[in-house]
């Protein structure tokens, strides 16, 4: 049985590598299509990490909502970006690179040293319930009903807002 633990551990490293490589691809590639592909790979890696955190339900939701829906929406937006030959003509210089590096290293070192390593997190003395979908559903509809209703209203507002925003310019152009 110890073999399976090592296999699981190796798969964990694989998911972490997927996350980081996807992230690197998303921020360093010049073509937006490659960036969206990197985002999808990284989100898939994070879905694997959710599985290791004991929630197969969130793994499925991550793949369904993020990789399936959000990435597709972003691909729709890529249509209005520059084509590869336009990019070559534009010759993008990365002016903000030193600023970006300083910001990110300060943020990471601040988080890493000041918060993560110096804090001792103690586990709760007793846990109620389990990680099952049934327990999540009961909590979502009884105790955390507000979150459920709030996300419904937000999604409805977002849909109406997106339709109005995207339609406005088109009406101006035709009239």
Partner 1 sequence: MMISSNLNTYLIIAAVLLVIGLYGMVQHRSLIGILISSEFILNGAALNFMAFNHFVAPNPAVGQIYALFIMGIAAAEAAIAISMIIAVYRKYQSEDPEELQDMKM
Q: Do residues 18 and 41 touch, judged by C-beta distance below 8 A?
A: yes
Does 43 interact with partner 1 (rule: CB under 8 A)?
yes
Q: In Å, how far are 20, 50, 155, 163 from 41, measured between CA atoms? A: 9, 15, 25, 29
Q: Do residues 19 and 27 touch, judged by C-beta distance below 8 A?
A: no
Does 82 interact with partner 1 (rule: CB under 8 A)?
yes
CB of 88 to partner 1, least distance (A): 14
Does 18 interact with partner 1 (rule: CB under 8 A)?
no
Does 100 interact with partner 1 (rule: CB under 8 A)?
yes
The pair of three-digit structure tokens given for residue 129, joined into one six-digit string = 């319930």
Q: Which of 1, 83, 89, 92 binds partner 1 (CB under 8 A)?
A: 92
Measured distance CA(162)–CA(175) in Å, rounded: 21
Does 94 interact with partner 1 (rule: CB under 8 A)?
yes
Binding positions for partner 1, 110-139, rule CB under 8 A: 111-112, 116-117, 121-131, 135-136, 138-139
CB of 85 to partner 1, least distance (A): 16
Q: Do residues 52 and 15 touch, judged by C-beta distance below 8 A?
A: yes
Among residues 84 and 144, whose Cβ is nearest to partner 1? 144
């Amino acid at each position: 049985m110890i073999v399976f633990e090592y296999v699981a551990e190796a798969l964990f490293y694989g998911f972490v590598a997927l996350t980081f490589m996807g992230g690197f691809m998303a921020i360093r590639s010049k073509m937006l299509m490659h960036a969206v592909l990197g985002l999808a790979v990284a989100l898939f890696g994070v879905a694997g990490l959710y599985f290791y955190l004991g929630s197969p339900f969130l793994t499925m939701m991550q793949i369904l909502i993020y990789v399936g829906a959000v990435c597709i929406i972003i691909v729709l937006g890529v249509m209005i970006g520059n084509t590869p030959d336009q990019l070559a003509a534009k010759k993008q210089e990365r002016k903000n690179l030193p600023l970006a590096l300083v910001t990110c290293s300060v943020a990471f070192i601040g988080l890493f040293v000041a918060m993560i390593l110096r804090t001792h997190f103690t586990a709760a003395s007793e846990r109620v319930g389990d990680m099952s979908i049934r327990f999540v559903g009961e909590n979502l509809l009884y105790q955390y009903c507000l979150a459920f209703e709030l996300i419904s209203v937000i999604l409805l507002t977002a849909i109406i807002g997106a339709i109005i925003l995207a339609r406005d310019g088109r009406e101006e152009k035709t009239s």
